[in-house]
Structure 1
Amino acid sequence: MNLDIEFVLPHWLYWSVLLLLPLVVMFFVDRSFRRGGTISGGDTAEVPAGEEVAVAYQPPGNLFTAIVDRLSGFSGRYVAYWALIAPFAFAYEVLVRYAFNSPTNWVHESMTLMFGMQYLVAGAYALREGGHVRVDILYQRARPLNKAALDLVTSVFFFIFTIALLVTGWKFFSQSVSDQFFFGSSYANETSFTEWAIQFYPVKFMLFFGALLLLLQGFGQLVRDAQAYRYHWRLHDGSRTFARVLLVIAALLAAWVVFEMINIAVTDYDSLAGSLENSLGSVGIGALTLVMFGSLMVVLVAGLPLAFVTGGLGVAFLYLVGDQAMLNLMPSRIFPMMTNYQLSAIPLFIFMASVLEKAGIIEELFDVVYKWMGGLKAGLAIATVIASTLLAAMVGVIGAAVVTMGLIALPAMLKRHYDPEIAIGSIMAGGTLGILIPPSILAIIYGVIAQQSVGELYLGSLIPGLLLAFMYGFYCWMRGTLNIKLAPPMPVEDRVSTGEKLRLLRNMLAPIVLVILVLGVIFTGIATPVEAAGIGTFGALVVAAMHKRLTWPNLHAACMTTLVASAMVMWIIFGASIFVGFYILQGGQTFVQELISGAGLGPYAVLLLMMVLLVALGMFLDWVGILLLAVPIFVPLIKGLTFDGVFGLPGVAPADVSLWFGVIYLVNMQMSFLSPPFGYALFYIKGVCPPHITMAQIFRSSFPFLGIQALGLLLVILFPALVTWLPNLAYG
Structure 2
Amino acid sequence: MNLEINFVLPHWLYWSALFFLPLLVMWLVDRSFRRGGTISGGDTGEVPGEAPVARYHPPGNLFTALVDRISGFFGRYVAYWALIAPFVFAYEVLMRYAFNSPTNWAHESMTLMFGMQYLIAGAFALREGGHVRVDILYQRARPVNKAALDLLTSVSFFIFTIALLVTGWKFFSQSVSDRFFFGASYANETSFTEWAIQFYPVKFMLFFGALLLLLQGIAQLIRDVQAFRHHRRAHGGSHTFSTLLIALGIVLGAWVLFEMVNIATTDYQSLAGSLENSLSGLGIGGLTLVMFGTLMVVLVAGLPLAFVTGGLGVAFLYLVGDQHMLNLMPSRIFPMMTNYQLSAIPLFIFMASVLEKAGIIEELFDVVYKWMGGLKAGLAIATVIASTLLAAMVGVIGAAVVTMGLIALPAMLKRHYDPEIAIGSIMAGGTLGILIPPSILAIIYGVIAQQSVGELYLGSLIPGLLLAFMYGFYCWMRGTLNIKMAPPMPVEDRVDMKEKLRLLRNMLAPIVLVVLVLGIIFTGIATPVEAAGIGTFGALVVAALHKRLTWPNLHAACMTTLVASAMVMWIIFGASIFVGFYILQGGQTFVQELISGAGLGPYAVLALMMVLLVALGMFLDWVGILLLAVPIFVPLIQSMSFDGVFGLPGVSPADVSLWFGVIYLVNMQMSFLSPPFGYALFYIKGVCPPHITMGQIFRSSFPFLGIQALGLILVILFPALVTWLPNLAYG
TM-score, with structure 1 as normaliser: 0.99
Asked if 1 retains the 8 angstrom alpha-carbon contact of 2:173 and 2:183, the reply is no
Measure the CA separation in 2 of the matches of 1:693 and 1:414.
11
Measure the CA separation in 2 of the matches of 1:53 and 1:209.
34
Measure the CA separation in 1 of the matches of 2:498 and 2:138.
55
Asked if 2 retains the 8 angstrom alpha-carbon contact of 1:392 and 1:437, the reply is yes
Measure the CA separation in 1 of the matches of 2:57 and 2:246.
20
Residue 44 of structure 1 deviates from its aligned partner by: 0.9
Asked if 1 retains the 8 angstrom alpha-carbon contact of 2:175 and 2:183, the reply is no
Percentage of pairs with the same residue: 90
Measure the CA separation in 2 of the matches of 1:79 and 1:42.
22
* CA offset digits 1:609-660 (Å, max 9, x no partner): 0000000000000100000000000000000000000000000000000000
Asked if 2 retains the 8 angstrom alpha-carbon contact of 1:521 and 1:532, the reply is yes
Residue 563 of structure 1 deviates from its aligned partner by: 0.1
* CA offset digits 1:487-508 (Å, max 9, x no partner): 0000000000001000000000
Residue 179 of structure 1 deviates from its aligned partner by: 3.0
Residue 183 of structure 1 deviates from its aligned partner by: 5.0
Asked if 1 retains the 8 angstrom alpha-carbon contact of 2:174 and 2:183, the reply is no
Residue 178 of structure 1 deviates from its aligned partner by: 1.8
Distance 1:543 1:268, change over 3 A: same
Distance 1:481 1:228, change over 3 A: same
Measure the CA separation in 1 of the matches of 2:489 and 2:366.
13
* CA offset digits 1:510-567 (Å, max 9, x no partner): 0000000000000000000000000000000000000000000000000000000000
Residue 236 of structure 1 deviates from its aligned partner by: 1.9
Distance 1:301 1:385, change over 3 A: same
Residue 272 of structure 1 deviates from its aligned partner by: 0.1
Distance 1:125 1:541, change over 3 A: same
The aligned residue for residue 237 of structure 1 is 236
Report the 3-state secondary structure (helix = DSSP H, G, I; strand = E; otherwise coil) of the residue aligned with 2:457. Answer: helix
Distance 1:139 1:181, change over 3 A: farther
Residue 55 of structure 1 deviates from its aligned partner by: 3.8
Asked if 1 retains the 8 angstrom alpha-carbon contact of 2:174 and 2:184, the reply is no
* CA offset digits 1:439-460 (Å, max 9, x no partner): 0000000000000000000000
Measure the CA separation in 2 of the matches of 1:556 and 1:47.
18
Measure the CA separation in 1 of the matches of 2:712 and 2:190.
46
* CA offset digits 1:649-673 (Å, max 9, x no partner): 0000000000000000000000000
* CA offset digits 1:62-107 (Å, max 9, x no partner): 0000000000000000000000000000000000000000000000
Residue 347 of structure 1 deviates from its aligned partner by: 0.1
Report the 3-state secondary structure (helix = DSSP H, G, I; strand = E; otherwise coil) of the residue aligned with 1:274. Answer: coil
Distance 1:399 1:667, change over 3 A: same
Instruction: List alignment gaps of at least 5 residues for structure 2.
Output: none
* CA offset digits 1:147-198 (Å, max 9, x no partner): 0000000000000000000000000000001236725798810000000000
Residue 235 of structure 1 deviates from its aligned partner by: 1.3
| TM alignment of 1:432-581, pairs within 5 A | 432-581=431-580
The 10-residue stretch of structure 1 (52-61 or 20-29) with the greater mean CA deviation from structure 2: 52-61
Asked if 2 retains the 8 angstrom alpha-carbon contact of 1:89 and 1:107, the reply is yes
Residue 52 of structure 1 deviates from its aligned partner by: 6.9
Asked if 1 retains the 8 angstrom alpha-carbon contact of 2:174 and 2:185, the reply is no
Asked if 2 retains the 8 angstrom alpha-carbon contact of 1:177 and 1:201, the reply is yes
Report the 3-state secondary structure (helix = DSSP H, G, I; strand = E; otherwise coil) of the residue aligned with 1:476. Answer: helix
Measure the CA separation in 2 of the matches of 1:52 and 1:552.
29
* CA offset digits 1:283-338 (Å, max 9, x no partner): 00000000000000000000000000000000000000000000000000000000
Asked if 2 retains the 8 angstrom alpha-carbon contact of 1:180 and 1:186, the reply is no
Residue 2 of structure 1 deviates from its aligned partner by: 1.0
Residue 433 of structure 1 deviates from its aligned partner by: 0.1
Asked if 1 retains the 8 angstrom alpha-carbon contact of 2:306 and 2:571, the reply is yes
The aligned residue for residue 13 of structure 1 is 13
Measure the CA separation in 2 of the matches of 1:707 and 1:498.
36
Residue 698 of structure 1 deviates from its aligned partner by: 0.2
* CA offset digits 1:582-603 (Å, max 9, x no partner): 0000000000000000000000
Measure the CA separation in 2 of the matches of 1:30 and 1:416.
42
The aligned residue for residue 679 of structure 2 is 680
Residue 53 of structure 1 deviates from its aligned partner by: 5.8
* CA offset digits 1:201-245 (Å, max 9, x no partner): 000000000000000000000000000000001012111100110
Distance 1:172 1:116, change over 3 A: same
Asked if 2 retains the 8 angstrom alpha-carbon contact of 1:371 and 1:496, the reply is yes
Asked if 2 retains the 8 angstrom alpha-carbon contact of 1:177 and 1:183, the reply is no
Distance 1:187 1:146, change over 3 A: closer
Distance 1:713 1:180, change over 3 A: farther
Residue 51 of structure 1 deviates from its aligned partner by: 5.3
Residue 54 of structure 1 deviates from its aligned partner by: 2.7
Report the 3-state secondary structure (helix = DSSP H, G, I; strand = E; otherwise coil) of the residue aligned with 1:51. Answer: coil
* CA offset digits 1:27-46 (Å, max 9, x no partner): 00000000000000000110
Asked if 1 retains the 8 angstrom alpha-carbon contact of 2:397 and 2:431, the reply is yes
Instruction: List alignment gaps of at least 5 residues for structure 1.
Output: none
Report the 3-state secondary structure (helix = DSSP H, G, I; strand = E; otherwise coil) of the residue aligned with 2:84. Answer: helix
Residue 476 of structure 1 deviates from its aligned partner by: 0.2
Distance 1:186 1:532, change over 3 A: closer
Asked if 2 retains the 8 angstrom alpha-carbon contact of 1:480 and 1:487, the reply is yes
TM-score, with structure 2 as normaliser: 0.99
Distance 1:535 1:227, change over 3 A: same
Q: How many residues align?
A: 731
* CA offset digits 1:457-505 (Å, max 9, x no partner): 0000000000000000000000000010000000000000001000000
The aligned residue for residue 42 of structure 2 is 42
Measure the CA separation in 2 of the matches of 1:52 and 1:5.
54
Distance 1:714 1:187, change over 3 A: closer
Asked if 1 retains the 8 angstrom alpha-carbon contact of 2:618 and 2:677, the reply is yes
| TM alignment of 1:152-231, pairs within 5 A | 152-179=151-178, 182-183=181-182, 188-231=187-230
Asked if 2 retains the 8 angstrom alpha-carbon contact of 1:150 and 1:302, the reply is yes
Measure the CA separation in 2 of the matches of 1:44 and 1:228.
29
Measure the CA separation in 2 of the matches of 1:144 and 1:238.
12
